[in-house]
Structure 1
Amino acid sequence: MSFGFWALIPVIVILVLALITKDTFISLFLGVVVGFVMIAQGNPVMAFNKFIDALYTVMCDSNTAWVLMICALFSSVIFLITESGGVLGFSNLAEKVLKTRKQTMIGTWILGLIVFVDDYLNCLAVGAAVRKIADRQKISREMIAFIVNATGVTMCAIVPFSSWSAFMGGLMQKADMLGGLSVTGAYIHTIPYVIYGWLAIIVVPLICLKVIPLFGPMKKAEQRAMETGEVQSPEAKALHGELPDEELKFKDKKCRAVNFLLPILVIAIVAVWRDDLLIGVFAGLLACLIMYLPQRLMNINQYFNGILQGITDMCSMLVIIIMSYVLIEVNNQLGLVDTIVGAALKTVNPALLPVTIFVVIGLLSFASGTFWGLAAIAFPIVGPLGAALGVSPFLCAGAVISAVAFGGQICMYSDTVMLTSSSTQITNAEYLRTSGPLVVIPFVLAVIGFTIVGFVAA
């Protein structure tokens, strides 16, 4: 059964409910319910059975297991390095350099640029590293979340030796878009055309330095933090609880920054070496064991209890991740991607192909909550289409990568937004409400950029 553009209804339900209820899980769940009711043609029993089937499919998928293990165990790493005093030690060290609000925000941006190996690592590590010093400077958690995620997906997309470049380069090869070059060489030629990635990164310091003035919900969040000292909203406090007084907890104890930096460095190095972030996370847990026990920061029981506590702290986010994957199943059964891509890309002027790719795939990524999966669908369509119309394969690839990077930065139920929200301790709905208007700035500029480049290259 073809639903056509009616396939957008579940996504619209989710976005509207997220803005009204400010609750991510309720919005996702009801959107999924609406989708399965549509698929079952109004039969509630059939809709429930299809939901159970989709849930079973998602939970049995190896990619789901990989993501859930990374998120759960990385939360354990963050809990352990926090309990060791490592996060506070890093914050104390950073505070000697970052003494003002602007310096702290720019420092967060720079740290995000440095941790470019993997977007998951970036979102989780940078958020945990800077939130304490940001609290001292009365920077809202919403602003920190915007900065962290703006440099997470986008930086990984424009570096030729990250998890993104490896995956996207492989898709370019399968779509015959290498132009006679090696995978790495082709990706390097594509990087200048990842226009959205560059713009998203450049916009952050312009906002931090007030070259671009704040507006909308983010402005209100910053005013709340500066005027009242409340860096979290009431909704975030209800979800994550009151902020702990770490200074009091570690009073008269020496907090070493190395207890934060070394485990994170081990994760990054092992992840690159073994080409698997999950192995890197296990290596980080081992590094914590080797470092913290000899320093008597914790005993063996506290270490393993810390691992379990970290997983427990991530439970609500894991449920949201699972539900977002069920939503992807709903969208697939509704034919959302095939309908929109098929309608938009196959009757387009060559000069307008790059901007059409960016807008259509970008909005689909925002709606569907997936970027690597959507890229895997888009490249086999975009590659032959670009070749038939005589458009540069690197320009087309840059448009696809830009589009899915945009979706990863703005969609409240994408992996990176969920992890950023977790590490900065805000809700996903808050992220969409506050960061969404700011993300529109590089999106509009990228639309203009792809339009100009398309006509120049035509």
Structure 2
Amino acid sequence: MEQVIKALYAIHPKRHPLISILVTLAAVAFFWSLSTTYSPDEGWGFKSLLPTLFVLAIALISRAPFESLLVGVIAGLIMINPSTVVTSLTDTMSTVMGNDTIIWIVLVCGLMGGLIVLLEKSGCLNSFSEWLKGRIKSRRQSLLTTFFIGLVVFIDDYLNCLAVSSSVKKVTDHYKVSREKLAYIIDSTAAPMCILVPVSTWAVFFSGLLEENDLATSGKGLSVYISAIPYMVYGWVALFVVFLVASGMLGNFGAMKKAEKRAFNGQPLPDDYTGDSMEAAAPTYRKTSNFIGMLNFIVPMLILIGATIYYDIDLLKGVIVTLGITVAMYYLQGLLSLEDQMKGIFEGFKVMLYPLSTVIAGFMLKSVNDELGMTSYIVSVVAPMMTAELMPALVFVVMAAVVFGTASSWGSFIIAIPIVVPIALGVDANMALVIGALLSASSFGSHACFFSDSTVLAAQGAGCSPMSHALTQLPYVSIGAVISFIIFIVLGYTV
């Protein structure tokens, strides 16, 4: 796989612009030809997979997730109707930008970015990092500390990806840990941990989805969700694997091995690092005593977690309350003026623009895939092979592939659950086990996909590109997926 990636990268568009132009023209002609052979009676069938496969291929060559997604969206729109590509593109963009989930993501991530910049500029984040340095005595301890902090911050994967990385990366830099390994540990305690704790945004969303699809009576969705937690195999396996990595019991493979060698030689930052992380927005620190600085960091974090829980696991409300209190705290202490803090919040939004654009492009690709019927096609192909014993394993594999290809760890299941549930009932499968497989697939897809929100934000917080993060963690998520598949087969025949 590594040799294939090297070969693809050798024909990088920046190195060979003529090849890039020819490939673009050939792709347009190919997808245009598909539109001429389309029959509404037959549907798109396997052709519905082509835009997503095209995105994956372009991303491996260019290592630019946003641009790859945009190309895939346009390719899909050409398939659907080449004469209305511009109109369809603007309509899709407008629809996605007006989506409640996207608005929530933009506000949450932007405000979280603003909060982190305030923590940086006030010097509080630096105080917390210095405190950690005084207590962490080895590289192994720095990795295990990152792991355990990630377990504690279980409310939301966005909070995990952005807050944990900001608090520990100076410590891991000190012990020559690559930013790619930091991103892997953070990402592995984000979505995998969130599905296993019933007090998280994931639990709230999916328990509501279970009620909507008659898998639970009104008000009982969370109880059904909790009953499936023991069967959310990928979450448990991913946490076990990342613990082995953090403790040093599982070594470095492939791209991660190279990244760690580079870090050990004094360069924690990857070669493709562009400097657009939080520390770039806040290069200077205010001097405060270590104790006061610690309090000024810990209090906003506790308020953020507490307010999020108070408002029924709504991270947006939690971060708004936290920002309001933090701004007041820093102003009254004379750490930062109101003007500096408002500028800092806007700087945080600016830092988050590229990762947010990638997430938005992912939602646009999902919209195109929905119109092509990709999810329905994949599930329908596998449905005849479903038996009560094999269904959990097949559901895990199929939905993991769907989420990996669309980056929609939540949206895909709105389409898939109404299809999967009748099949599960028809073959008399264990419903708690099937729900566990569905949540495991959602967690894996969010964890592994190079343009998923979790992956992009983990990379952004740690300070590396999404592609570098995705490629370095690929061996570990693959190990987790294979082990989970085997366990689902065993559970299917034993539970």
The answer to whether TM tops 0.5 is yes
- What secondary structure, in the 3-state scheme, does the structure 1 residue paired with 2:436 have? helix
Q: Distance in 2 between matches of 1:347 and 1:241?
A: 48
Structure 1 residue 152: deviation in Å?
0.4
Instruction: Please tell me the residue identity of whatever aligns with 1:231.
Output: P
Contact 2:211 2:217 (8 Å CA) reproduced: no
Q: 1:254 aligns with which of 260, 273, 289?
A: 289
- What secondary structure, in the 3-state scheme, does the structure 1 residue paired with 2:274 have? helix
State yes or no: 1:207 paired with 2:245. yes
2:59 alignment partner in structure 1: 18
Q: Distance in 1 between matches of 2:407 and 2:282?
A: 35
Deviations 1:37-70 (A, max 9, x none): 2122xx3x52222111101111122221111111
Instruction: Please tell me the residue identity of whatever aligns with 1:5.
Output: F
Q: 2:267 aligns with which of 230, 233, 245?
A: 230
Instruction: Please tell me the residue identity of whatever aligns with 1:20.
Output: I
2:394 alignment partner in structure 1: 356
Structure 1 residue 174: deviation in Å?
2.9
Q: 1:289 aligns with which of 327, 343, 366?
A: 327
- What secondary structure, in the 3-state scheme, does the structure 2 residue paired with 1:214 have? coil
Q: Distance in 2 between matches of 1:328 and 1:164?
A: 19
Structure 1 residue 211: deviation in Å?
2.1
Instruction: Please tell me the residue identity of whatever aligns with 1:184.
Output: L
Q: Distance in 2 between matches of 1:296 and 1:19?
A: 48
Q: 2:310 aligns with which of 248, 273, 278?
A: 273
Structure 1 residue 154: deviation in Å?
0.8
Of 343-352 and 368-377, deviating more is 343-352
Q: 1:306 aligns with which of 315, 338, 344?
A: 344
1:118 alignment partner in structure 2: 156
State yes or no: 1:319 paired with 2:354. no
Query: How does 1:75-154 map onto structure 2 within 5 Å?
Result: 75-154=113-192
State yes or no: 1:446 paired with 2:481. no
- What secondary structure, in the 3-state scheme, does the structure 1 residue paired with 2:297 have? helix
1:437 alignment partner in structure 2: 475
Structure 1 residue 239: deviation in Å?
5.0
Identical-residue share of aligned pairs (%): 33
Structure 1, unaligned runs of 5 or more: none
Q: Distance in 2 between matches of 1:408 and 1:122?
A: 14
Contact 2:281 2:351 (8 Å CA) reproduced: no
Deviations 1:303-362 (A, max 9, x none): 111111111111222222221111111111111111101221244122100000000001
Structure 1 residue 453: deviation in Å?
0.4
TM-score, length-normalised on structure 1? 0.94
Structure 1 residue 367: deviation in Å?
0.4
Q: Distance in 2 between matches of 1:299 and 1:243?
A: 20
Instruction: Please tell me the residue identity of whatever aligns with 1:262.
Output: V
Instruction: Please tell me the residue identity of whatever aligns with 1:425.
Output: G
RCO (CA 8 Å, sep 6+): is it higher in 1 or 2?
Answer: 1
TM-score, length-normalised on structure 2? 0.87
Of 301-310 and 444-453, deviating more is 301-310
Structure 1 residue 97: deviation in Å?
2.4
Q: Distance in 2 between matches of 1:308 and 1:347?
A: 52
Contact 2:231 2:436 (8 Å CA) reproduced: yes
- Shift of the 452–263 alpha-carbon distance from structure 1 to 2, 3 Å rule, reads same
Q: Distance in 2 between matches of 1:148 and 1:422?
A: 11
1:7 alignment partner in structure 2: 48
Q: Distance in 2 between matches of 1:144 and 1:241?
A: 15
Contact 2:194 2:202 (8 Å CA) reproduced: yes
Of 235-244 and 429-438, deviating more is 235-244
Contact 1:372 1:404 (8 Å CA) reproduced: yes
1:377 alignment partner in structure 2: 415
- Shift of the 263–100 alpha-carbon distance from structure 1 to 2, 3 Å rule, reads same
Structure 1 residue 300: deviation in Å?
1.2
- Shift of the 251–298 alpha-carbon distance from structure 1 to 2, 3 Å rule, reads closer
1:342 alignment partner in structure 2: 380
Contact 2:143 2:246 (8 Å CA) reproduced: yes
State yes or no: 1:263 paired with 2:304. no
1:428 alignment partner in structure 2: 466
Q: Distance in 1 between matches of 2:100 and 2:429?
A: 36
Structure 1 residue 180: deviation in Å?
11
Q: Distance in 2 between matches of 1:57 and 1:245?
A: 34
Number of residue pairs the alignment of both structures matches: 451
Contact 2:178 2:268 (8 Å CA) reproduced: yes
Q: Distance in 1 between matches of 2:46 and 2:250?
A: 36
- Shift of the 181–319 alpha-carbon distance from structure 1 to 2, 3 Å rule, reads closer
Structure 1 residue 277: deviation in Å?
1.0
